[in-house]
Amino acid sequence: MALSLRKCNKYQGENNSQCVLSISSGVLNPEFDLELCRSGLEMNGFQIPESDLEAPLKMALTAPSVKRYITFNSSLFHFFMAPVLYIILWCAVFSSLHSYITVTDYWVLCLCVSLVSIFLTTAIIFILHRSNKEINMNLDVRLIAVNERLVKHKLLVAVADWVENCTSNLQLYFVYWDISHCLRALTETLEEQNYESRNIQKKLQKRMSHLVLVSEVPQIQTEPQEGDVEQDTDEHRPLLQEEQESSTTSDQKGAHQPTTSLSLVPDTGLSAQVKAHQLLMTYSALYMKLLVSERLSGPSHYRMRPKRNHCTTASLCLCQYIRTKILR
Ligand SMILES: [Zn+2]
């Protein structure tokens, strides 16, 4: 299952969707050199403080469970899994049929078993391939916290991988993206549909209700510094921090480690602009992954409306992706 990945050519200017930097890692031990990230970004004119770059990236990508997820969900794993799966299915189907059906011509049985196994293997690989185009909790959602910080520097990140000549290529991509145009367009869309806000909320619930974060509450919580909360507008408050502030609930009374949960569905009472910002952040890593993997599929009429597209190299820009996949 080879995928073509967008080449990260020399960064030449401020165009949405232009790849600024890509960093490779081995798929068996996914680890990205963050010092290399910093020097590469600085060479391209991006001066980003440590708190906006290394700290959130480390938190998102260095947990052992995340590394395991990246390895077992990689294209290389799927690539080698296909023949193994085929052999297992062939043996299982053959032994099942052989026990119940008496066949004189074994070649007929073998042919039928092979066809059934090919069909089942293809179906399973197809389902896995399709699920890779959906937002996943283990990587895309973890990268929300990184993108919430990097978007201030007009950058968004994603992790994408593909197989080439039986070799895995796993890369962390930094893509230039000025979110202001998408934010304005998506806010306008939500405001236009304000009269049917109940319908919009139902659609968001339907498509995002599975996006629930469960995290452990730290035993010792530091007091927020005076003035911080007042200075943060709703739009710029990180989604993942909101989780800890808003839901230190009765779970704390649990016997062991208390947990909190946060739904990523935007609240009904939020303004259109805040909702739009939350949606853009939630789907930013998934969109960037599809963009660099050249797996974005959009209706052709969007190509005929370049003014509505804030990215010149893809059929859909981020706000259009959310409009077509989530709000429609
Ligand atoms: Zn847009």
**Is 203 domain-assigned?**
yes
How far apart are the CA of 172 and the centre of ligand 1, in A?
22
Task: Count the residues in the chain.
Answer: 328
Whether 12 is in a domain gets the answer no
Q: Which residues on adjacent β-strands are paired with residue 209?
A: none
Q: In terms of domains, do 59 and 192 share one?
A: yes
Is 38 within a domain? yes
DSSP assigned state of 192: H
Task: Tell me the pLDDT tens digit for each residue of 208-244.
Answer: 888 887 777 766 554 444 444 444 455 555 565 544 4
For residue 216, what are the β-bridge partners? Answer: 259
Which of 131, 157, 172 terminates a domain? The answer is: 131
Q: How far apart are CA 251 and CA 202, in angstroms?
A: 27
Are 81 and 116 contained in the same domain?
yes
CA of 319 relative to ligand 1 center, distance in Å: 4
Task: Mark whether 46 and 143 lie in a shared domain.
Answer: yes
pTM for the predicted model, two decimal places: 0.79
* 80 and 151 both lie in a single domain: no
Q: Supply the mean pLDDT for the chain.
A: 81
Query: And the tokens for 93?
Result: 């189907």
Q: Which domain holds residue 88?
A: 75-131
pLDDT at 104: 75
Q: Which amino acid is residue 244, in one-letter code?
A: Q
- Per-residue pLDDT at 6: 57
* Of 143 and 133, more confident: 143
**Ligand 1 mean position, distance from CA 308 (Å):** 7
| AA letter at 200 | I
In a domain, 31, yes or no: yes
Its sign, for the CA torsion 133, 139, 145, 150, is: negative
Instruction: Provide CB contacts within 8 A for 238, sequence distance 6+.
Output: 145, 148, 149
**Ligand 1 centroid, distance to 121 Cα (angstroms):** 38
What's the 12 CA to ligand 1 centre distance in angstroms? 21
The answer to whether 75 and 163 have CB atoms below 8 angstroms apart is: yes
Residue 187: name the closest of 235, 240, 237, 243 by CA. 235
Reply yes or no on whether the pLDDT at 301 is more than 60: no
Tens of pLDDT, residues 42-89: 998 899 999 999 999 999 999 999 999 999 888 888 888 899 999 999
CA dihedral in degrees (66, 67, 71, 74; nearest 10)?
A: 50
Domain identity same for 113 and 144: no
Ligand 1 geometric centre to CA of 25 (Å) = 30
- Residue 187 CA to ligand 1 center (angstroms) comes to 11
pLDDT reported for residue 241: 52
Domain boundary (114, 131, 148) is at 131
Same domain, 28 and 163: yes
- Do residues 108 and 211 share a domain? no
Cα of 76 from ligand 1 centre, angstroms: 32
Q: Residue 5: what pLDDT?
A: 54
Report the range of poorest mean pLDDT among 3-7, 27-31, 66-70, 301-305: 301-305
One domain for residues 46 and 152: yes
> In this structure, are 53 and 147 located in the same domain?
yes
Report pLDDT for 240.
55
What's the distance, Cα to Cα, between the start and end of the chain in Å? 30
CA 179 to ligand 1 center in whole angstroms: 8
**Domains in the chain, number:** 2
Domain shared by 105 and 141, yes or no: no
| 223 within domain boundaries | no
Cα–ligand 1 centroid distance for 122 (angstroms): 35
Does 169 share its domain with 287? yes
Q: Do residues 65 and 79 share a domain?
A: no
Cα 313 from chain centroid? Answer: 20
Residue 8 located in a structural domain: no
Is residue 117 within 8 A of residue 153, CB to CB? The reply is: no
Neighbours of ion ligand 1 (CB under 5 A): 182, 310, 317, 319
Q: How many Å lie between the centroid of ligand 1 and the Cα of residue 71? A: 32
Q: Which residue has the higher pLDDT, 278 or 235?
A: 278
Model pLDDT, residue 74: 86
250 phi and psi angles, rounded to 5 deg? -65, -10
What's the CA-to-centroid distance between 213 and ligand 1, angstroms? 27
Among 94, 116, 131, residue at a domain's last position:
131
- Whether 306 is in a domain gets the answer yes
Question: Distance from the CA of 301 to the center of ligand 1, in angstroms?
Answer: 15
- Comparing 99-103, 191-195, 248-252, 289-293, the range with the smallest average pLDDT is 248-252
The residue among 160 and 244 whose pLDDT is bigger is: 160
Asked if residue 86 belongs to a domain, the reply is yes
